[in-house]
Amino acid sequence: MTTIVAISDSHMATPAGLSSRLRDALKAADLIIHAGDQTESTFLDELKTYGQVVAVAGNMDSTALKLSLPQRQLFTVEGKTIGVAHGSGAPAGIQQRVRALFPEDPDIIVYGHSHVPYTGTVKGSLMINPGPASSSYAIIKVGNDTRVQIVHL
């Protein structure tokens, strides 16, 4: 079983501004996903000292981050394919817009942008929005089955 902690929309210069509860969860994770809007490269650089990080660019990220990070990522953990993208547009319909970015039909898709925590299934993919890092995050346990918990701070 692999434990993933997913965050998005941190909108701060360093992880020091995150709650101590979230920082502890990040340090204990096997993998960290940041679904965009880290805002500054200093945040991402420091986050990488906590453990392995998969990150994508968000619309509010600095130009340097937008140039260095992909718009989407696709990788495998414990035999499950996981997609990561930030998302765009209004909160209404964001799950469908993000799902359309992944014609590969991943098992799990992590996204952000709307600042609204969400778990649900769209066209066979488990969609997870951890919400803004200032108020929530997701713990995703991937193994024979997948379990998701949205933690509200």
Q: What's the Cα-to-Cα distance from 82 to each of 43, 65, 79, 122, 141, rounded to whole Å? A: 23, 21, 10, 14, 12
Q: Is the pTM of this model over 0.85?
A: yes
HSE-up of 103 (CA within 13 Å, CB side)?
Answer: 0
Q: Along the 153 residues of the chain, how does pLDDT read in single tens digits?
A: 999 999 999 999 999 999 999 999 999 999 999 999 999 999 999 999 999 999 999 999 999 999 999 999 999 999 999 999 999 999 999 999 999 999 999 999 999 999 999 999 999 999 999 999 999 999 999 999 999 999 999
Q: Which domains does the chain have, with CATH numbers?
A: 2-152 (3.60.21.10)
